[in-house]
Structure 1
Amino acid sequence: MQFQIGDMVVRKSYQRDILFRIISIEQSAKGEPIAVLHGDEVRLIADAHLADLEIVREAERLERKQEEESKMKESLEMLRHDYKLLREKHEYRATNQYNNEQQYFHMPGRVLHLDGDSTYLKKCLTLYEKIGVPVYGIHCHEKKMASVIEELLDEYRPDLLVITGHDAYSKHKGNINNINAYRHSKDFIETVQKARKKIPHLDQLVIFAGACQSHFESLIKAGANFASSPSRVNIHALDPVYIVAKLSFTPFMDRINVWEVLRNTLTREKGLGGIETRGLLRIGMPYKTTN
């Protein structure tokens, strides 16, 4: 079978569990053709012999997409429900128990999202827009993130920083605690360290970092508030958005229980974790309309 860059495929040896797209076809050390794969819905990078691949027909691809959209819709509804409750709670405080009729305005936390995958970045930006989170999106290869992060922080001055893309743990490269056994965890860690050196306070700049199977413990130690992946499982492409949205719309006077953040995600505590963090939403008044 002939394979081309952009083909949607599954791996037969993994029981066709994940849908991938072929990014490139390279030669192995033995001269055999190897396909480099990016997960279509999960932030996983992998490689496979062409003989292990099977092209996915359009009907199956659409069926998988509908299943993913159903999960996403459920998470989005939970997020909207949480935001509605937070808004009502905030209105009660701001209006002195509804005794003050003065109108006010919201200032949710601003996001800088660095993503190693341009396709995932577009999906994330679409969801940010749908939810109403102010965001700047930057496509940047994982290995280049550390070299540009300080300049980007100066330029955009975000409240939240997302550092994500692709990652993977390879058993044949070392045990689970060996950082060299991970494809891009080291790059994410270095980027977090540089960002945290510039802005040390955990509530002044809230950081999410990692992708599929990333070295969770090292990312938290480097200074991330939230990271993947505690159980070294795959995370969904949109999981960072659900975490960030919860933080962005929680009032800055409130501290967020970690489970309250994780329960809105698609992967939950096996793929994501973090530390207690203050919300970032601020309100102001009076609200003035422009004619």
Structure 2
Amino acid sequence: MSERSRLEAWAPDGLPEVRAGDDLAALVLAALDEGRDLADGDVVSVTSKIVSKAEGRTRIGDREAAIDEETVRVVARRGPTRIVRNRLGLTMAAAGVDASNVAVGSIVLLPLDPDGSARTLRREIRRRTGLNVGVIVTDTSGRAWREGQTDIAIGAAGVRVAEDFAGHTDAHGNPLVVTLPAVADELAGAAELVQGKLAARPVAVLRGRADLVLPIGQDGPGAASLVRPDGADLFGWGAREAVVRALAGDAADLVPFGEPAPTVELAAALDRLPDGVDRTAVAAVCFAHGWRIEDWEGTIDGA
């Protein structure tokens, strides 16, 4: 028989409403037949919602005020919708503040430390069952350029969150340069398929990728390692916001534009401006490329 690659995913019913102070590990294991449904090398996926509820991150109050509290920087705004970079470094709508699957009038904030929450759950499952499993904490996120949402891993412990194939070659001998599958996010998406949004199944088990589960005592870098540093992303500002920020030229807004562009790249951008454009437009283009107009003019004068 030829060798096959197989991934299994299932989500148990029966998890009760999670409240602040609940023993999350006990609830998860109870839903998994006291751990008898688990095996070494499995990955346990839990939604951030139940982690937040257990950790007391639910409150009664104004959603907009909570978004303000969780926001580090507004990336883009379209009407009432805000896409922000939150305190975890995640760029998402409404900073991850959610008002679904919670009592009317209440809101849920993301866990304070999703990677830490995953480490705690992994440790407790190991202590109570003797099993070595990986754990991911998931949340729903939109994607640029595509409609709809999918679940991603915002916390992880004992799981390789990415597989680096750079330096390898494919079956045709072509070198792989920047191939880095975010496997923790792929596992989160698979878990969401069996959990569903309205089925009250916030826990899932994934089996078949034991190669991604780290040895006991090794938790790995966590899902935080998948977050690009501010300025390392090509889309640090929304399209409209980038124009306004560049024209304003506030030094505090410079980082999301990234590292200063090479002089040849900036020169090419300036060449696209119409003849006779004023100094304000030139300064904005320089700013968007990580330069101050004074430094650029100095470079030209010194050439």
TM-score range, shorter chain: under 0.3
Greater Cα radius of gyration, structure 1 or 2:
2
TM-score (norm 2): 0.25
Higher relative CO (Cα under 8 Å, sequence separation at least 6) belongs to: 2
TM-score (norm 1): 0.25
